[in-house]
Amino acid sequence: MSKITKNEGDTARYQEADRRHHMHPFTDYKQLGQKGSRVITRADGVYLWDSDGHRLLDGMAGLWCVNVGYGREELAKAAYDQMLQLPYYNTFFQTSTPPATDLAQLLAEVTPAHLNRVFFTNSGSEANDTVLRMVRRYWDLQGKPQKKTIISRINAYHGSTVAGASLGGMDPMHRQGDLPIPGIVHIEQPYWYANGGELSPDEYGVVAARRLEEKINELGVGQVAAFIAEPIQGAGGVIIPPETYWPEIKRICSDYDILLVVDEVICGFGRTGKWFGSDYYGLQPDLMPIAKGLSSGYLPIGGVMVSDRVAQTLIDEGGEFFHGFTYSGHPAACAVAAANIRILQNEKLVERVQQETGPYLQQRWRELADHPLVGETRGLGFLAALELVKDKHKRLFFDERGKVGTLCRDFCFNNGLVMRAVRDTMIISPPLIMTREQIDELMVLALKCLDLTAKELGIA
Ligand code: PXG
């Protein structure tokens, strides 16, 4: 367990260097320069410490990724040993390495049965860039090159590269850099609380799924290559689809012969209480991007699980696939990912989330529904969200979306809890090792911060 504290106390120095030299992702630079960044110096289990020595309960598992928790010596050792043995070799041009091969085999075992091959990347974004190229290559090889368009959803997050951000459905991202690129279109997301109106969730689930069918018919079925979606939208606000949604989507993909791409970057590796969101919803993805929980964030690694159907075409008909990254199948990252999967298996963390701690978290989380600010509580496994609203009875959002969420998030940070705000939706995605006692602690902090937010707004 890491107890290194030597960085604490150097906050001003880090903030100054950061301001001068570091351009952060998804950050308003002027604002950060005025405020100064929060510097995280160490972590253990489900806790983080900042450079002033404050402890934070990490309700977000880093960025939805540290599934096995911080401070795992086995993972550090796996990287250390591998770096001494073979720190780098590539997997291009018909070479391989033991860690890449072993991890590929392990992934074939833990993912759904028809997914038996992986293409390695270094991130979820690269995985989705790979998806775009594989989908189009597949239809080319099938003799249907006009099947090019990929249908995605509003508020989806599929990464930050040009293809990733285009596949994603985030307007503010599209406005920066003339995205999406051609051949990517977006339909409504199954967000009952915001869009369902008077329909029941089940009625609305079918309506939202049929947006896909409508879009296919509008574009012409001969033009449509694939539909891509997260099982549960993460960065879009933990949007849990009504039970009727996925069965209808499955029907449509099959009726119109379009590939189903299920982005498991967040839902994968136990987050829903199943190994994959696809297991939870009974999906059979043709391609399945993975990252984050694959290595619990200890080293960067991602990949695309490729179904037998797609793989066979690429193998039999494809010749060379001109795609790959210097670090595809990086030995140290693969060794760490394999050790991480072994931890999930040996400690039965997925089963624990499904049977014990997940239901407990969800039960406690539902208690927040009584709070005057909370319009809806929802969640599954170790994912949960709260809708903060102006009027919970009328299902009315705040006029200036995002302000109250940011206020609440800042109260959380300042009171020892990392909880993320998406607009005015508060979100948690804790490490899968979180215990009942730590869930209780999270609840106390969350409630306190909701109260502070309500007080600041003059409510209750
Ligand atoms: N797909 C999904 C579903 C994701 O959530 C990516 C792809 C891209 O992965 P990389 O490894 O390229 O970041 C993601 C990433 C947030 C937040 O604020 C979410 C992500 C990344 C950063 C911030 O919620 N998700």
125 lines ligand 1 (CB under 6 A): yes
pTM, entire model: 0.97
Closest to 381 in 3D by CA, of 340, 434, 420, 447: 434
Quote the CA–CA distance of 352 and 357 in Å, as a whole number.
6
Is-contact 155 169, C-beta < 8 A?
yes
Domains of the chain: 11-68+348-457 (3.90.1150.10), 74-346 (3.40.640.10)
145, HSE (Cβ side, Cα atoms, 13 Å): 1
Task: State which ligand 1 atom lies nearest to the alpha carbon of 234.
Answer: 5
Distance 159 CA to ligand 1 centre (A): 5
The predicted structure's pLDDT at residue 459: 87
Consecutive H or E run containing 117: strand 115-121
Whether 101 and 328 have beta carbons less than 8 Å apart is answered as no
Backbone angles phi, psi at 260, to 5 degrees: -105, 120
Q: Please state, in angstroms and rounded to a whole number, the distance separating the CA atoms of residues 147 and 226.
A: 8
CA of 294 to the centre of ligand 1 (A): 13
Q: Check residue 1 and give its pLDDT.
A: 41
Pocket flag, ligand 1, residue 291 (CB < 6 Å) = yes
pLDDT one-digit tens code per residue, 186-230: 999 999 999 999 999 999 999 999 999 999 999 999 999 999 999
pLDDT in tens, 69-107: 999 999 999 999 999 999 999 999 999 999 999 999 999
Q: What is the mean pLDDT of the chain?
A: 96
Q: Which helix (H) or strand (E) holds 19?
A: helix 11-21
Given a cut of 80, is residue 7 above it in pLDDT?
A: no
Atom of ligand 1 nearest to the CA of 264: 3
CB 296 within 8 A of CB 65: yes
**HSE-up (13 A, CA, CB side) for residue 388:** 29
pLDDT digits (tens, 9 = 90+) for 37-69: 999 999 999 999 999 999 999 999 999 999 999
> What is the pLDDT averaged over residues 8-12?
81
Burial pattern 342-369, b for ≥16 Cβ within 10 A else e, equals ebbeeeebbbbbbeebbebbbebbeebe
Whole-number Å distance, alpha carbon 158 to ligand 1 midpoint, is: 6
Asked if the model's pLDDT at residue 8 lies above 70, the reply is: no
